[in-house]
Structures are given as C-alpha cells and as structure tokens.
C-alpha cells in the first residue's frame, strides 16, 4: 500500500508538525522528505507504519487508493494542503530579504550561492524555485528557517523569530503609495498604516494630512482591531499625557471609533486644535477631558463642542532618541 504524498503533507500541516520534527521522528533526512513532498521520489513503503504512527492517522486514510474501490481519494485528506505557489512566495521573500538586509547585489549573492545572476533574478521575481541544497545553505548561513519556507509554520528564522505586529525595519518612504515593502516583509502577511506628517499635542500642531511614511503591522493583528483604511498613525508632542504618552510617541488612531460612552484615550478637536486626551462621559451631554499629567486641569465640556477624531488603540515608543 502506497502512502499518498498529498494526504501525508496535508495531515502534517493540519496537526502543526514541522518538517524537521516529522523527519526526525520518521528517521529520514529533510531532503528525503522534500523529495517525497515534491514528488521527486515516491514514499517508501517501508515507512508506512511509522508515518501512520507519527501522524496519528490510519494507513488506509493515508494511502493512495481508497480501500472501498481502489480509486484515488484525495478528497479525504484534510482541507489544509501543500501549495507549491506559497512555498515559492516564501522562498522569493527569503532571497529578497537577504539581499535587502545584507545590502547585496544579485552578482554578490550569486557568487555566495554558486549560481548564475539570472537564476538569482528568477528567485527574486518568484519565477524559479530554489533547490533544497540552496535553501539548506540559506538556513545555515542566514538563519532563515527551511521549515518556514516549506510550510509557513513557526517563525521565519531558525530561532522561531517572527516579525510581530510592529516592524521598525519596515518603515517606508511615502514615495511608495502601493504599500510595497521592497522585499523586506513576507508576502501578504503585513498591512501598511500611514503615519501622518505633523504632530498632535496639547494644542500645538495638527497633522497636515500628508503621509510621512508607512509602518507595517501584521495583517491578522490589525484585523482584530478594525479596518486598516480607517486608521492612521500620528506622533505625539508635549507632556500633557505623561506618564501614559511621552513626547515623540507614535499613536495608532482608529477613526471609526468615535463613541465616548465607555471612555478611553481619544484624538479630539477643540477650537480647531487636535489633542490626545482621556475622555470620561458625565451625566447629560457633558464630557470630562482629562490630561494624565496632574499639572494640567481636567475640563468639563459640552459634547457638541468636541469633535471626536478617533480612539487611540496602540502606541509605540523609542527607548533611545
């Protein structure tokens, strides 16, 4: 009975097992596994029992032929399956990441990897797929995880590191309005939020509406907070919200959240001045506008005299400036 490569791969992915762990437990090399997965070699029948045990799946459920009629039955495999296109995208990101962060040219990297410049160009454009030996060398030299390239599990790097939700290295010039990251970030995993030029403080300066740069957040993290098109980032200036917010902090404002019934930190406009303040609803139609810095007096203002620009949902601070 022959083990189905598609079912084996889908089962491994569905239980979150990395290639390294699978290979170790089955007693094969990772190259052998990738040969199986890419169908460069059939899964040896002698490994059927151990594969079934490692994957906690019956041999019949992992076999090429369905036991009832002898026909192929790939539909019984779990929904999550191996997608060579996604592997190629991750490999493309890895090559571009190395060139970008190590400041290498195609010629320089081709010399390091022992490949032609046209091959490197094919990798960078996602046209060609690097061979296992090339990816293994990349892992050893640049610490980009071979497991991550293969199936996207864990982090992009061998220490399980993953670029989470704010990536300082992804700061981008406003000259690129497309949101393209220049090959620094994994494809599809990040969304860019514009940082508006100007600052907001206790009444000094309002954003001028121009995008200064774009900052990358993990797409799944932003999705839990709201819609990225409703958000912007603004730099704080002044001491009115210390110690909560310091001058120079970046605040992420969700402009769709303008209800003050539960209070919180909001970007507000009073008399054409934009402020970051803590809002506390009072009886009737009044709001208490609070500065966290005790040297500033709280103000009780009619709600109709305040424009709520959005709620502050995140902030970032540099430790050294």
pLDDT band for position 289 (cuts 50, 70, 90): very high
Residues comprising the chain, all counted: 321
CATH class of 84-151: mainly alpha
CATH 2.10.109.10 positions along the chain are 166-316
Nearest residue to 130 via CA among 77, 91, 171, 90: 91
Q: In this predicted model, what pLDDT tens digit does every residue of 260-280 receive, in sequence order?
A: 777 889 988 887 777 899 999
Task: Mention every residue, 6+ apart, whose C-beta is less than 8 A from residue 168.
Answer: none
Q: Please give the model's pTM, rounded to 2 decimal places.
A: 0.44
CATH of 166-316, one of 2.10.109.10, 3.40.50.970, 3.40.50.300, 3.40.640.10: 2.10.109.10
Mean model confidence pLDDT for the chain: 76
Q: In this predicted model, what pLDDT tens digit does every residue of 126-151 receive, in sequence order?
A: 888 888 778 888 888 888 888 788 77
The C-alpha atoms of residue 316 and residue 195 are separated, in whole angstroms, by 12
Q: In this predicted model, what pLDDT tens digit does every residue of 165-213 receive, in sequence order?
A: 333 333 333 333 334 444 445 555 778 888 876 545 443 334 444 556 7
Q: DSSP secondary structure string, 54-75?
A: HTT--HHHHBSB-TTTSSB-GG
CATH 1.10.260.40 positions along the chain are 5-76, 84-151
Which residues sit opposite 250 in a β-bridge? 235, 316
> What is the reported pLDDT for 153?
64
Instruction: Please name the fold of domain 5-76.
Output: 434 Repressor (Amino-terminal Domain) (1.10.260)
User: What is the average per-residue pLDDT within 51-70?
Assistant: 70
β-pairing, 211-218 vs 231-236, is unpaired
From 38-52, 108-122, 158-172, 251-265, the region with the lowest mean pLDDT: 158-172
Burial class (CB in 10 A: 0-12, 13-18, 19+), 271: exposed
From 26-35, 55-64, 69-78, 312-321, the region with the lowest mean pLDDT: 69-78
* Phi, psi of 76, rounded to the nearest 5 degrees: -80, -10
The answer to whether 62 touches 55, Cβ cutoff 8 Å, is yes
272: left (phi over 0), alpha (psi -120 to 50) or beta: left
> What is the reported pLDDT for 14?
63
Alpha helices (runs of H) in 143-218, residue ranges in sequence order = 146-151
Name the token pair of 288.
């208490």
């Amino acid at each position: 009975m022959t083990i189905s490569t598609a079912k084996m791969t889908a089962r491994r992915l569905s239980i979150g097992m990395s290639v390294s762990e699978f290979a170790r437990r089955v007693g094969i090399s990772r190259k052998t596994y990738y040969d199986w997965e890419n169908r460069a070699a059939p899964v040896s029948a002698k490994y059927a029992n151990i594969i079934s045990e490692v994957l906690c799946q019956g041999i019949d459920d992992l076999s090429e032929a369905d036991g009832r009629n002898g026909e192929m039955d790939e539909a019984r495999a779990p929904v999550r399956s191996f997608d060579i296109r996604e592997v190629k995208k991750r490999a493309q990101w890895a090559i571009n990441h190395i060139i970008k962060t190590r400041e290498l040219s195609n010629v320089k990297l081709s010399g390091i990897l022992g490949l032609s410049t046209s091959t490197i160009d094919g990798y960078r454009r996602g046209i060609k797929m690097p061979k296992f030996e090339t990816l293994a060398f990349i892992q050893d030299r640049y610490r980009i995880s071979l497991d991550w390239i293969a199936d996207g599990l864990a982090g992009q790097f061998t220490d399980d590191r993953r670029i989470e939700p704010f990536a300082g290295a992804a700061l981008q010039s406003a000259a690129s309005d497309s949101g393209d990251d220049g090959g620094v970030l994994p494809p599809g995993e990040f969304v860019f939020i514009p940082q508006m030029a100007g600052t907001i403080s206790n009444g000094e300066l309002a954003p001028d509406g121009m995008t200064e740069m774009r900052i990358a957040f993990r797409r799944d993290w932003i999705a839990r907070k709201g819609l990225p098109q409703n958000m912007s980032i603004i730099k704080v200036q002044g001491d009115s919200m210390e110690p909560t917010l310091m001058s120079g902090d970046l605040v992420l404002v969700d402009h769709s959240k303008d209800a003050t019934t539960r209070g919180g930190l909001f970007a507000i406009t009073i008399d054409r001045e934009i402020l970051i303040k803590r809002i506390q609803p009072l009886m009737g139609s009044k709001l208490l506008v609070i500065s966290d810095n005790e040297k500033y007096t709280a103000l009780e203002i009619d709600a109709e005299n305040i424009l709520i620009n959005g709620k502050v949902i995140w902030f970032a601070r540099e430790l050294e400036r």
